[in-house]
Structure 1
Amino acid sequence: MLSMEEILKKEVVYKIDNMENVNILKNLVYKTNGKKEFLMDMYTPFSNEKEEKLPVVILVHGEAKFVNFKDVGQYTSMGKLIAASGLNAVTFNHKVLSEGFSIKEINSDIDILIKYLVENNEKLNIDKDKIAIWCFSGGVPFGLYAGMHRYSNYVKCIIAYYGLTDFKHAGQLLGINISDEDEEVEKYSPIYLIDENSKKIPPLFIARAGLDNPILNESLDKFITKALVNNLTVDIYNHPTGGHAFDLFNDNDRTCEIISKSLDFLRKYLIV
């Protein structure tokens, strides 16, 4: 069994050429609160000699206590993978439910980051009208909410890997008490946004781990069904032998296919 230290060093199993030949801008300050600075890393293609504005993919991490997510192997390797594919990528840390923060507080963290990218697009040399969100695990409901509701004018596509879509299941899955009122939980849960926002929702890519926790998959399956009933543009990839975080722990052809198709999906909707 892997230790937490070993897990945090794990990188995505899918590799492409030139992943180590990308530019990494470390610890850019996107918010200050008193003496505290909020930091992000930006991965850019090394070959962007013309310094043209490129689309940006925001990576929204999952749940774990006291983890500097933007510096763990999963997100550093994913940032390199995206940059080597010709796009900008941004990693950052947001609050998590398991540390006692509310849904509103976590949404606010993501809000602030996206607003910063939009308002500073010239300085960062990004195309603010071509943003994608790639969210994982516990970060899925927050990434979906931002892309389906708050910033649907800027977000051109969303990728969601093995995550919840209804906060009513989050407390049960994480073993915590969700502090927001029931109506607020429903307000922020992506599954309930489909009916009211169906015409504004960008194309979706959903990756499902067949051997994942049944509670999580039940939530994801209901979201997929509702997306199809509402005739959304949605690409669905099931990994029948994949467990949670299959991109790290299941080094097989299906994992590589799903990640490769995810990159194709980004290029399709961001590079026009």
Structure 2
Amino acid sequence: MTEPQPPWVAPFVLDTPEVPRERHGHWDLYDPQSDHPRPLVVFVHGGPVNPAWPASPRDWHVYRGYGAQVAARGFTAVTVDHRLHGGDAYPQAYADVLDAVEAARADERVDADRVAVWVFSGGGPMLAPLLRDRPSWLKVLGATYPALDSFLDVKPPEGFHPLEELADAPAIPLVFTRVGLERDFLAPAQATFLEEAEGGPLAVELIEVPNGVHGFDHTNDTDESRTAVDLAIGKVLSHLS
């Protein structure tokens, strides 16, 4: 069996369209080049991330691909390099994400009232504060193979446990992508989250990838993967249109 490539090397399963990408401090903006303000999708990478790695997440092919795909479909995208370098760093990482959101919302090319936040993997605990205190601009959430509780030696601090926020969650859509071959230390919390969310105010739109592994969008180069990623992007954007 071939060893998976490091995330900063692994290719995105969809094409990466040629669109303008601008660097702004710790975040990048993908410009759809529209003549009027466009809604914004903010991509929140997982972790913890080792700052010594050769490339930070916003330069990985997978996040460049997501950002470019969104911009090519007529929406603004932002990829954030947040400082989730350890399990105790969620408050700092979340502050980094909010800083990027507010800076992007101030851009005249962005519709400041229509924003999606889309978390991946170890970025999942950052769903908690968004569910607990939903910003007025937040119209839809995305979660792809998310961590939703403590995992391995990562124990998110108080306030970063999405399972605890479900009872009082806002009525907001959540596009949730679950892989069939998920890591065993992540799958149980995902199952619990989906079960407890059923019938509640959180409107979960579940996308199943039966043969997908964690990181399928840059690991499994299959039609199943491409269909799932394309569907997830389409669903998120539909709630911003």
Separation in 1, partners of 2:82, 2:190: 22
Cα deviation for residue 139 of structure 1 reads 0.9
The letter for the 1-side match of 2:74 is G
Give the AA of the match of 2:38.
Answer: L
Amino acid at match of 1:80: A
Comparing 224-233 with 211-220, which one deviates more in the overlay?
Answer: 224-233
Closer, same or farther: CA 3–254 of 1 in aligned 2, 3 Å: closer
Letter of the 1:133 counterpart: V
Deviation of 1:45 after TM superposition, in Å, equals: 1.6
Q: How far, CA to CA, are the matches of 2:104 and 2:10 in structure 1? A: 28
Deviation (angstroms), 1:106: 2.1
CA apart distance, 1:267: 2.5
Q: CA deviation at 1:116?
A: 2.6
Partner of 2:162: 190
Q: CA deviation at 1:159?
A: 1.0
Aligned to 2:20: 23
SS at match of 1:188: coil
Matched, 1:42 2:39: no
CA distance in 2, matches of 1:45, 1:137: 27
Aligned-partner Cα distance in 1 for 2:156–2:230: 38
- The two structures have a TM-score, normalised by structure 1, of 0.79
Of residues 200-209 and 225-234 in structure 1, the stretch that sits farther from structure 2 once superposed is 225-234
- Aligned residue in 2 for 1:147: 130
Name the counterpart of 1:70.
58
The number of residue pairs the alignment matches comes to 235
Deviates more, 1:212-221 or 1:149-158: 149-158
Match of residue 263, structure 1, among 225, 233, 240? 233
Structure 2 gaps of 5+ residues are: none
> TM-score under structure 2 normalisation?
0.89
The RMSD of aligned alpha carbons is 2.0
Where does the alignment leave 5 or more consecutive residues of structure 1 unmatched?
A: 30-38
**TM-aligned CA deviation for residue 141 of structure 1:** 1.8
Runs (4 or more) in structure 1 with deviation over 6 Å come to none
Structure of larger gyration radius? 1
Q: Once the two structures are aligned, what percentage of the paired residues are identical?
A: 26
- Change in 2 beyond 3 A, CA 1:10/1:3: closer
Task: Give the equivalent residue in structure 2 for 1:251.
Answer: 221
Given the alignment, which residue of 196, 200, 223 partners 1:226?
196
Contact 1:85 1:263 in 2 (8 A): no
**Whole-Å Cα distance in 2 between the matches of residues 90 and 216 of structure 1?**
26
Structure 2 counterpart of 1:11: 11
User: 1:164 maps to which residue?
Assistant: 147
Q: Which amino acid aligns with 1:158?
A: L
Contact 1:149–1:201 (8 Å) recurs in 2: no
Please tell me the residue identity of whatever aligns with 2:78.
V
- CA distance 1:154–1:25, shift in 2 (3 Å): same
Compute the displacement of 1:135 (Å). 1.2
Deviations 1:203-229 (A, max 9, x none): 001111111112201111111111113
Q: What is the alpha-carbon distance in structure 1 between the residues aligned to residue 71 and residue 79 of structure 2?
A: 12
Amino acid at match of 1:44: D
Compare the two structures and name the one with the higher helix fraction: 1
Equivalent position SS for 1:210: strand
